[in-house]
Structure 1
Amino acid sequence: MPVIIITIAVVVAIILGILVANVKVVQQSKAYVIEQLGAFHTVWGVGFHVKVPFFQRIAKIVSLKEQVVDFAPQPVITKDNVTMQIDTVLYFQITDPKLYTYGVEHPMSAIENLTATTLRNIIGDLELDQSLTSRDIINSKMRAILDEATDPWGIKVNRVELKNIIPPREIQDAMEKQMKAERERRESILQAEGQKASQILVAEGEKQSTILRADAAKQAAIMRAEGEAEAIMKVQQATAEALKLLNAANPNEQVVKIKALEAFQAAADGKATKIIIPSEIQGLAGLCASAKAVFEDEKKAPPAAK
């Protein structure tokens, strides 16, 4: 009896083990290719699946994510017979797990060989300068050709990038010399532009300084003129005030003549070489001379006896 129980327990354990081993949960972005009795049966997507023991097997587990493969540098010859080394980077995605599993043996090796062949064909139609400056065009052409060629394999080529283009050493040296000359030329241009800008700034400073000095001289002249005008105005106002006071005092004819004589004296003290004396002033001058003589005679006469 114990032997039977042990046998049954072993059989149940084996059956449970087989069932557990054939229960599969497919993860996101994965696909399982299932064969039944050696032939393709189905593709399991994400979720819970049970495989029939001994009749079905998982032929391939395929990743549906975008993948990147970096191929080793390939020697290519340009149209002008220059040999270069070019390595490429390929971005692809598996869109059909069945075709990917049964379409081609060793898909990555096939894609690498196809990429090298395509690259040689495209670069062979271009000269060195074109191949160095036309990366985008080369990338687009390669992507279109590879995508069409790998479609029967269930692969979609999303992008192709030329990672490095390595020309021969002598061409690299020539390019380095050219780049150095270009850098020196740009430095010379920058220095010349800096000197030009400096000279412009100096000229602008001198111009502003000249303008400021001219403005200062102008303001000084204006202030001097305004001061002289104000002085003249004050003199005129004082003269007017004096005349007003004189008129208010109601002077007689003799006072007026004396004032005229004072004005004549002031004119005579000037730099004029000729002076015209009015007749009235001449008479007044004679009167003053006679009066002066009388006063002097009186001073010289002896005093009268008492």
Structure 2
Amino acid sequence: MDLPVSPGLIISLIIVLLGTLIVVKGLVIVRQSEVMVIERLGSFSRVLESGINIIVPFIDQPRAIKMLRYRKMGDEYQAITSDEIRIDRRETVMDFPGQPVVTTDNVTVRINGALYYQIIDPRRAVYEVENMSQAVEVLAKTTLRSVVGKMELDKLFESRAEVNNEIQAAMEEPASKWGVKLSRVEVQDIAMPEEVETAMRLQMAAERKRRATVTEAEGEKSAAIAKAQGQRESSILNAQGDKESAILRAQGEQESIKLVLNAIGDSEENKRTVVGYLLGQSYIKSLPNMAKDGERVFVPYESSALLGSMGMFREMAGSPENAVGKHLGASSSASDLRSGMVGGAGSSAG
């Protein structure tokens, strides 16, 4: 037996269902770092921040934003466009494909870059531009071509940081109109034609060889300088040694002469005798070198007197007290001997 359903019960159930649907549709939970742009009857109403928010169902509607992302499929990039009602305010990276760019020295290179940006004004990002991410990408590509087109290839490799800063500075003003903040722009990779790459490798090898040659030459130069300095210091030390040795010898001879003169007397004749003895001794020491260097030996005219003086000093070495007494006899004998040697030398010379 079917029980009759009253119209009031049906209306109550309908009201409960509508209330539940309104609560479910009107209760919006926004996650951290996300926002939603709400339109009321087609016009901008407000921006929902993170947390629990209440909207009027069927009257308040979220406005979607178009986002362009690239997905790498093998060696190629595939562009994916999507409509998202939840706008992510975190920093986003856009790794766009490599772009052909011509430098000032007419070299075509392919540059792959990455763009880091953040949505700071969701309202502008939705209403000021039709596709915010695509607009940012196109702006980055055109700015990249403009900046790199003013540089030579070598300058491009040396100044990547400068290129990044110029691109970022050129993009900041137009991007700010779209509610976007550019964090940084990075040039990731620079691909060159094969012939240019080969030429650069050869140039690099030649430059390294040149540096090695210069380094080797500088090392040889330093070694030669050090060797010359060592030889110079050695010569100076040897000369100082010879000088000191000569001074000591001279001082020894001077002291010897004083002792002899003290023993035999310091008259003029004795002084001449001592000087003659020293000259004879020096001459006799030089005879072997004279015979070694040449074929003839020249005996001086007064050699007999020198020999006589040397004989006298040999006697002095044995008995200094008797040397003075024998000095006069030795002098006369030396005169006779000199006369005979002069005659013999003349006949020999003849």
Does residue 202 (structure 1) correspond to residue 227 (structure 2)? The answer is yes
Q: What is the number of equivalent residue pairs in this alignment? A: 242
Secondary structure in 2 matching 1:104: coil
Unaligned runs of 5+ in 1: 1-10, 241-259, 276-306
Partner of 2:36: 33
Shift of 1:193: 0.9
Q: Which amino acid is 1:43 matched to? A: V
Question: How do residues 74-93 of structure 1 correspond to structure 2 at under 5 angstroms?
Answer: 74-78=99-103, 81-93=106-118
Question: How do residues 208-247 of structure 1 correspond to structure 2 at under 5 angstroms?
Answer: 208-231=233-256
Shift of 1:192: 0.9
Q: Which amino acid is 2:47 matched to? A: V
Shift of 1:218: 2.6
Partner of 2:327: 266
For residue 179 of structure 2, the aligned residue among 135, 145, 154 is 154
Does residue 185 (structure 1) correspond to residue 246 (structure 2)? The answer is no
Paired with 1:237 and 1:66, the residues of 2 have a C-alpha distance of 111
CA contact (8 A) 2:37 2:122 kept: no
Shift of 1:168: 1.2
Question: How do residues 127-166 of structure 1 correspond to structure 2 at under 5 angstroms?
Answer: 128=153, 131=156, 135=160, 138-166=163-191
Does residue 43 (structure 1) correspond to residue 68 (structure 2)? The answer is no
Partner of 1:284: none
Structure with the bigger RCO (C-alpha within 8 Å, sep 6+) is 1
Paired with 2:151 and 2:139, the residues of 1 have a C-alpha distance of 19
- Give aligned-pair identity as a percent: 36
Does residue 98 (structure 1) correspond to residue 123 (structure 2)? The answer is yes
Q: TM-score, normalised by structure 2?
A: 0.54
Cα gap change, 1:176 to 1:261, in 2 (>3 Å): closer
Cα RMSD of the aligned pairs, angstroms, is 4.3
Secondary structure in 2 matching 1:212: helix
Shift of 1:225: 3.5
CA contact (8 A) 2:28 2:53 kept: yes
Cα gap change, 1:156 to 1:23, in 2 (>3 Å): closer
Shift of 1:197: 1.1
Q: Which amino acid is 2:93 matched to? A: V
Secondary structure in 2 matching 1:71: strand
Shift of 1:210: 1.7
Question: How do residues 66-81 of structure 1 correspond to structure 2 at under 5 angstroms?
Answer: 66-78=91-103, 81=106
Secondary structure in 1 matching 2:205: helix
Q: Which amino acid is 1:94 matched to? A: I
Paired with 1:180 and 1:143, the residues of 2 have a C-alpha distance of 35
Secondary structure in 2 matching 1:142: helix
Q: Which amino acid is 1:176 matched to? A: R
CA contact (8 A) 1:98 1:154 kept: yes
Unaligned runs of 5+ in 2: 1-15, 64-84, 266-320, 337-350
Shift of 1:207: 1.6
Paired with 1:213 and 1:76, the residues of 2 have a C-alpha distance of 72
Shift of 1:115: 1.9
Secondary structure in 2 matching 1:73: strand
Secondary structure in 2 matching 1:109: helix
CA contact (8 A) 2:121 2:179 kept: yes
Partner of 1:172: 197
**Farther-moved stretch of structure 1 (215-224 vs 127-136):** 127-136
Paired with 1:193 and 1:93, the residues of 2 have a C-alpha distance of 55
**Farther-moved stretch of structure 1 (107-116 vs 37-46):** 37-46
Shift of 1:213: 1.9
Cα gap change, 1:233 to 1:212, in 2 (>3 Å): same
Q: Which amino acid is 1:207 matched to? A: R
Q: Which amino acid is 1:157 matched to? A: L
Partner of 1:279: none
Cα gap change, 1:231 to 1:66, in 2 (>3 Å): farther
Partner of 2:136: 111
CA contact (8 A) 2:101 2:145 kept: yes
| Bigger Rg over Cα | 1
**1:30-81 residue CA offsets vs partner (Å, 9 max, x unmatched):** 25234154654333557x5543474667665445454433322111234555
Q: Which amino acid is 2:35 matched to? A: Y
Shift of 1:96: 1.3
Shift of 1:198: 1.3
Secondary structure in 1 matching 2:129: coil
